Amino acid sequence: MGDFPEDLSNDGPLVFQPGIVIPTTPWESLWNSVSQWFGVLDEADLNKILPNRGKFDNLFTLDDLYG
């Protein structure tokens, strides 16, 4: 559901020393859809469960993962 880095060498744009790879998909994206699958559909409740959710525009929905 995310993008695999094309360059995993130490010179790659998403790789920092000592070999830490920065993900292209936020943790909140996946858990947004999982929370919906568990029945949490209200926006206010989702924001309580995932407080950083409003910082991302690429959140997966229930239909994206389970549709």
Per-residue confidence (pLDDT) for residue 19, from 0 to 100: 82
Per-residue confidence (pLDDT) for residue 28, from 0 to 100: 93
| 25 neighbors 2 (Cβ within 8 angstroms) | yes
% the chain with pLDDT above 70: 100
CA distances from 31 to 11, 18, 20 (A): 31, 28, 22
Q: Where are the domains of the chain?
A: 23-66
| 46 neighbors 52 (Cβ within 8 angstroms) | no
- Give pLDDT tens digits for 32-62: 999 999 999 999 999 999 999 999 988 999 9
Global pTM reads 0.74
Per-residue confidence (pLDDT) for residue 41, from 0 to 100: 95
Of the candidates 26, 65, 28, the one whose C-alpha atom is nearest the C-alpha of residue 49 is 28
Instruction: Tell me what the mean pLDDT of segment 14-27 comes to.
Output: 89
